[in-house]
Amino acid sequence: MQQSTEKINQLTFTRFLAALSVVFFHSGRDFGFFQIPSIFASGLTAVSYFYVLSGFVMAYVYYRPSPSGFETRKYWLTRFSRIYPVYIFSFLVTCFYYIDIVPKTRLKEFLANLFLYQAWIPEYSVSYNIAAWSLSVEVFFYILVPVFLFFMLNQPVKRLIWLSVMFWALSQLVHSTLLIGYLNSTTRYFLGYFPPFHLNAFLLGFVGGIWYLKHRANQNTSSFVNLSLIFFSMLFVLSALYFRDVQHIFGRTFSLDVGLLAPLFLITILALASDSTGLSKLLSHRWLVLLGDSSYALYILHVPFRWWFERILSYFSITLSPHAFLVIYIPVTIILCVLIYKCLEVPARDWVRNNSNKLGIILFDVVLIAVIIKLAFVLRLGLFDTGFLRTQRFAIFFGTVIFFSLFMLFQIYKAYSWYMLGLSSLLGGIVLTTFVYYAWQMQWVEGFPRPILAMIPFLIFLSIYIYRMLPQILVKKDVSK
């Protein structure tokens, strides 16, 4: 069995529907002239669907009959390029929104969000971008995929199905016990976002993907059976959401948000993947597939975009009713996310995959910039001075972003040029100085240390030139001789 690369287009649009449910959940569903039913605004339950679909896709793409067929380096490069470029963009958009708070943020909270392990720390799970916790869980799943492949290769599918169902049932029982006995304001983030509680959904999807590859991919299934499975499984899902959100039957017993509906989601995914009727043809329309492809950007950016829209309206003293706001905000956000998918996500993903040899240099540069900015403060103030602590944090974070962004803009990773490095360093120093001055005027930081800010671009230029540019220039001179 070879690696599966053919895209199942009819599943792609379902990601957009799930992402839209999350948007309604966070932003509202009352458009004035009509109101989206609450069962279609069940954001946390929609995330469970994402996990089942993710498990299915991971198995569909990576499951092979021999461990030698799995390329570890390529796998991690693909996963990194898939989620991190757009995530880091959303993280920066969020940080610039909280520009006055970033200097006061604890370093471990900042690092947890930067490196996507915030869901493992309950108090940080919904800090910064409140939708990003699910990516922290997704990274956990990505780490487990090679382990799953190693243990599941050549195992009987029936055994895998029974094991995954048993794990799902045990997971629901454990979570329900904790929910009944320990739910309070302190534990609700742990019970809602802790990654292992969501593993049952991903595992069901993963085993479902293996079953699909082995038993269904090359078989013709009755269209009536497929459509019936899709209809009744979704009917059960919507009924469960109705009884929870409208009738309030699901109280502090079982939670629909940690994979309880995963078997029904899996049935829908398998039936739709096997379907060849007009429904699949409709869902495979290129515009709907484009919306599905842009669903990741929609999911991770809709919250910071809403914050920025609200701030912009407030800045211009524009007052909109909640209904009017949603009518404008949601279509504009969808359009922006489609553009981000085409103009940022795809180019960044392709660039990372084609320039993997430069990732180590880029990471080193990012760390070096942050260290040099810190060093500039230490050289001027001393190692143990804490008088400009917020100023240091502000300068380190935004300075790293500014200098690295200018390095990318001036393409110093494409062509080694000392004058481009110097120009970008000088411009970065000017922009950083402007930022710090504004933050000082707004009283976000303690002061405006001019000598330190003047040192930073010089130190950055000198350090990068010595360790990277100078050897390249010397090599070119030797070759020319």
Domain ranges (residues) in the chain = 9-300, 356-480
State residue 5's pLDDT score: 55
pLDDT digits (tens, 9 = 90+) for 211-248: 999 886 556 677 888 889 999 999 999 999 888 877 66
Q: What is the per-residue pLDDT for 476?
A: 57
Q: Indicate whether 340 pLDDT > 60.
A: yes
CA–CA separation, 316 vs 239, rounded Å? 44
pTM (predicted TM-score): 0.90
For residues 311 and 99, the answer to whether their CB atoms sit within 8 Å is: no
371, 427 contact by CB (below 8 A): no
Report the candidate in 293, 344, 356, 364 with the shortest Cα–Cα distance to residue 74: 356
What's the confidence (pLDDT) of residue 103?
Answer: 81
What phi, psi does 30 have (nearest 5°)?
A: -95, 105
Q: Give the residue among 255, 72, 271 at the shortest CA–CA distance from 176.
A: 255
**How many CB atoms within 10 Å of residue 135?**
21
6-10, 221-225, 382-386, range with the lowest pLDDT: 382-386
* pLDDT above 80 for 477: no
- Percent of the chain past pLDDT 70, that is, above it, reads 92
Residue 255 above 80 pLDDT? yes
Contact 207, 260 (CB under 8 A): no
Q: Which is it for the CA torsion 137, 139, 142, 147, positive or negative?
A: negative
Residue 389 has pLDDT above 90, yes or no: no
Amino acid residing at 207: V
Strand-pairing partners, residue 35, are 30
In angstroms, how far apart are the furthest CA atoms of the chain?
83
Q: To 5 degrees, how large is the angle CA 204–CA 209–CA 214?
A: 125
**pLDDT tops 50 at residue 2:** no
Q: What is the mean pLDDT of the chain?
A: 88
Q: How far apart are CA 34 and CA 32, in angstroms?
A: 5
Q: What whole-number percentage of the chain has pLDDT above 90?
A: 58
pLDDT reported for residue 313:
92
